[in-house]
Homo-oligomer: A and B are copies of this chain.
């Protein structure tokens, strides 16, 4: 049922688009091939204690951190080695059983939900840091290595891996999603930071995308398989090892917060900072609603206003000059209360709170689950898109904070999904309309969360019918039986 109120927000949207967008739901059946003898063969492959059909374990593996409906796999398998991953893939491929790789489960687009049942392959037991080449600024990790654990391990080397999606995701999961986050404006996304991947193909064969042991900074040797698997969301194979770039810890770090009376002032400042050529490490926008959530959840007392959180990394000399240039721009645009966080503990507390914003926003409406939009546009279109988005939120009378990595043109609206179906439909209509606006303005429906199960229909619009056909051909090329994470990216 589509009530009158939607059309208010969907003036520019065809009814067909909206129905396609909101109508995701499928009945889930155990694939016929998942027999007890099939499960026995999995046990033989990985050991009895590494196979579970318990309801709790299946439930836990049937969803990520998003609002998307839970789809439980029939079996959960824990792999302890690439050989075991290969065996499991081969078994699933032979019987055409769906196979879903599972890392930290911190995704936001239902990337791990087992839409057609089958086997979920949990790789978190493979959690070794294989090697750190400090002198070459690279390291190699297994798929169970989490971002925070890696950076703790690296601390003594003076190096770090800066890509930071907020959640404590696994590095290989971040590869699969093409994640980024707050530091991308300076250090790039996963696309720019992966040197090599070990991948188990659906038929069990193992490849190294850049060749075994290769970790040079540059290569033009053959098709870029590395970046084909980065962002493939478990639909082409299982990433079992990643070699990634590391960076020297910045000699000096300056963090700062400032506030604006209007969204226009705040976002104009962002555009001017980016156009000044200063290399920001973080450049985040939080609207008044987001600051309210921030204050409440993390016990801050910031002015409830349109705000920017900034961070500068660099050699000590010259960094304050960059800060001062940015300060001038902020003041020119009417920015107020610029505060510098120089104390490391205070800085860490600030960014920890920023990273918890998904939960802070959700906590505004107890019992809700977060539905995060993720559009990204060229920076010149950012003021228009954010201002329109805020207007639509106001018109819809929903409580939806706006925040994001605006230095890249990427921001999120956190829509709290509840048991109120009518309200949820308004949320979905809003999300759709924001995505369509971004796509009209040279942008994408997903800057860093991926397509998952929720945006297949938007991807079709974004890349066009020929583009989608090419994606389908690529999928078929790697996964002719269609077992890998079915229903994701391509519906």
Contacts and interface: CB of A to CB of B under 8 A. Distances in A.
B231 A224 contact: yes
Contact of A466 (B188, B206, B377): B206
B207 A467 contact: yes
A177 interface: yes
Interface stretch (A254-262, A337-345, A350-358, A457-465): A457-465
| A-B complex: 7 closest residue pairs judged by Cβ atoms | A318-B318, A248-B277, A178-B220, A227-B227, A477-B477, A136-B378, A219-B444
A201 interface: yes
7 contacts: A133-B378, A178-B220, A180-B218, A208-B463, A210-B444, A220-B449, A247-B277
A448 interface: yes
A205 B408 CA distance: 32
A103 interface: no
B188 A192 contact: yes
B464 A211 contact: yes
Nearest to A184: B218
A272 to B, nearest CB: 10
Counted per complex, copies of this chain come to 2
A201 B409 contact: no
Interface stretch (A3-11, A47-55, A391-399, A468-476): A468-476
Interface in A431-465: 439, 442-451, 455, 459, 462-464
A208 to B, nearest CB: 7
B138 A378 contact: yes
Given A221-B451, A230-B224, A318-B315, A213 B442 contact: yes
A489 B222 contact: yes
Interface of A: 133, 135-138, 177-180, 184, 188-189, 191-192, 201, 205-225, 227-228, 230-232, 236, 247-248, 251, 271, 275, 277-278, 314-315, 317-319, 321-322, 376-380, 408-410, 439, 442-451, 455, 459, 462-464, 466-467, 470-471, 473-478, 489
A186 B317 CA distance: 19
Contacts of A470: 201, 207, 225, 478
Contacts of A216: 376-378, 409-410, 442-444, 447
Contacts of A205: 466
Nearest to A445: B221
A426 B173 CA distance: 47
Contacts of A220: 177-180, 189, 231, 444, 446-451
A219 B205 CA distance: 29
Contacts of A210: 444, 463
Contacts of A231: 220, 222-224
Given A218-B410, A474-B477, 7 more contacts: A178-B219, A211-B439, A219-B447, A220-B447, A221-B444, A221-B450, A224-B231
A214 B443 contact: yes
A294 B120 CA distance: 61
Contacts of A322: 315
A338 to B, nearest CB: 20
A99 to B, nearest CB: 18
A227 to B, nearest CB: 4
Contact of A135 (B223, B321, B379): B379
B277 A135 contact: no
A184 B179 CA distance: 24
A77 B184 CA distance: 43
